[in-house]
Amino acid sequence: MPRPPQKRILTGMRTTGAAHLGHYAGALRNWVDMQGEYECYFLLADVQAFSTHFDDPQRIVESVREMVLDWLAVGLDPTKQSNIFFVLQSQIQDLTELTTYFSMLTPMAYVERNPTIKSERAQYGERAGNLGFYNYPVSQAADVLLFTPPPPHTDGDELCVPVGEDQLPLLELTNDIAGWFNRTYDRVFLECTHRLSEVPRLMGTDGQAKMSKSLGNVILLSDDTETVQKKVMSMYTDPTRLRATDPGHVEGNPVFMYHDAFNPDVAEVDELKDRYRKGRVGDVEVKRKLVAALNAMLDPIRERRDAFAGDPDIVQEVLRGGIEQTRAVGGETMQHARAAMYIDYPKLLAPQTVAT
């Protein structure tokens, strides 16, 4: 009898700072929507964070707590839902081991020409020149595939990775690795599927494509009302428009991009766009309405965050639960992987039978 189908999600974030609106639109909102349908593993990728921030452990470690609070605040709650787990990457030794095995199967050239790697190399420069950086796509494949439904696979099994578009080349490599492993040794890993978030990658409040806390162009989920107001009111808009009566550009304008992503009142946004194009509304009004929409969205998130932050045990409790569960699930995958590679040494290391 085949077992019932298993549907799992694995996805994650690097712990290089607290979550911002880009994380919310590009990932978290999607995770919340999907959490009912799957057994969910959300990875706090602190090891991966070292690939570009190896010299700043304090930032990585402090971000773990912030990120757990952010995730709880948006409505992912492992204490209430038994199918949700937060996984602290550095505490799962199986991930390190699986990364090593996968790295043997991966031609260097595949990593070097991976578009995600290329663009991050351009973004981080020498910071991303270390060997661990080049190996992180392999490590990310291990992150995903450790959660493969156990072989032999059943119809309806699924391993889904909800991500933003920038991660797709890494998922392609993940499935290449799954195929190489399965063909070289034995069929252990299920290829992953993905679900893309609907909102395209958000730009920073300064109109830069790259959002980063150090550039000061992000709005954090944990920012208070006044901070959101200040950040929005100083947002970059349409540089070609000097007066409110000049016709303005909506496309490529971060203020409207944020309206599209976060303002649920579509009619209001359409009306603002229309007047903006005709030169009949000033930036200030458009921004004020964005402030109102963002604060309405963030208020319940802030409230929950404060409540969770006041609980002295919750972060530890959630992390411990995720570690324990992942060690069980991952341990099973590793047994299959080692057996497929013959490094379970059934003969050499079999328990001795003692002659009586």
Neighbouring C-beta atoms of residue 103, cutoff 10 Å:
18
* Total of residues contacting ligand TRP (CB under 6 A): 14
Among 6, 30, 35, 48, binds ligand TRP (CB under 6 A): 48
The verdict on 272 binding ligand TRP (CB under 6 A) reads: no
The verdict on 43 binding ligand TRP (CB under 6 A) reads: yes
Identity of the residue, 133 or 308, whose beta carbon is nearer to ligand TRP in the bound complex: 133
Identity of the residue, 124 or 236, whose beta carbon is nearer to ligand TRP in the bound complex: 124
Among 72, 76, 163, 173, binds ligand TRP (CB under 6 A): 163
**CA-to-CA distance for 121 and 115, rounded, in angstroms?**
10
**CA-to-CA distance for 280 and 265, rounded, in angstroms?**
20
Identity of the residue, 147 or 276, whose beta carbon is nearer to ligand TRP in the bound complex: 147
The verdict on 175 binding ligand TRP (CB under 6 A) reads: no
The verdict on 63 binding ligand TRP (CB under 6 A) reads: no
What's the count of helices (H) and strands (E) in the chain, helices before strands? 14, 5
Q: Count Cα atoms within 13 angstroms, Cβ side, for 168.
A: 6
The verdict on 173 binding ligand TRP (CB under 6 A) reads: no
The verdict on 223 binding ligand TRP (CB under 6 A) reads: no
The verdict on 14 binding ligand TRP (CB under 6 A) reads: yes
Q: Write down the least CB distance from residue 174 to ligand TRP, Å.
A: 8
The verdict on 160 binding ligand TRP (CB under 6 A) reads: no
CA of residue 173 relative to chain centroid, distance: 17
The verdict on 191 binding ligand TRP (CB under 6 A) reads: no
Phi-psi region of 279 (alpha: psi -120 to 50; beta: other; left: phi over 0): left
**CA-to-CA distance for 194 and 162, rounded, in angstroms?**
5
- The interface region with ligand TRP, picked from 8-16, 240-248, 314-322, 334-342 by CB under 6 A, is 8-16
Binders in 118-157 for ligand TRP, by CB under 6 A: 140, 143-144
Identity of the residue, 76 or 228, whose beta carbon is nearer to ligand TRP in the bound complex: 76
The verdict on 114 binding ligand TRP (CB under 6 A) reads: no
Q: Phi first, then psi: what are they for 285, rounded to 5°?
A: -65, -40
String marking each residue 291-330 x if it binds ligand TRP according to CB under 6 A: ----------------------------------------
Go through 52-89 and write b for each residue having 16 or more CB atoms within 10 A of its CB, e for each that does not: bbeeeeeebeebbbbbbbbbbbbbbbbeeeeebbbbbb
Q: Which residues contact 8 (CB under 8 A, 6 or more apart)?
A: 38, 39, 40, 41, 147, 149, 158, 159, 160
> Is residue 12 within 8 Å of residue 44, measured between CB atoms?
yes
Nearest to 144 by CA among 328, 326, 336: 326
Identity of the residue, 30 or 253, whose beta carbon is nearer to ligand TRP in the bound complex: 30
Among 9, 19, 25, 45, binds ligand TRP (CB under 6 A): 45
CA dist 86 → 93, 177, 216, 240, 355 (Å): 16, 25, 28, 46, 47
Type of residue numbered 202: L
Nearest to 68 by CA among 332, 337, 323: 323
The verdict on 273 binding ligand TRP (CB under 6 A) reads: no
The verdict on 199 binding ligand TRP (CB under 6 A) reads: no
Among 8, 9, 13, 153, binds ligand TRP (CB under 6 A): 13
Structure tokens at 22: 């880009």
The verdict on 68 binding ligand TRP (CB under 6 A) reads: no
**CA-to-CA distance for 172 and 114, rounded, in angstroms?**
9
- The interface region with ligand TRP, picked from 28-36, 43-51, 152-160, 219-227 by CB under 6 A, is 43-51
Q: Write down the least CB distance from residue 137 to ligand TRP, Å.
A: 9
Instruction: Write out the residues near ligand TRP by the rule CB under 6 A.
Output: 10-14, 43, 45, 48, 140, 143-144, 161, 163, 167
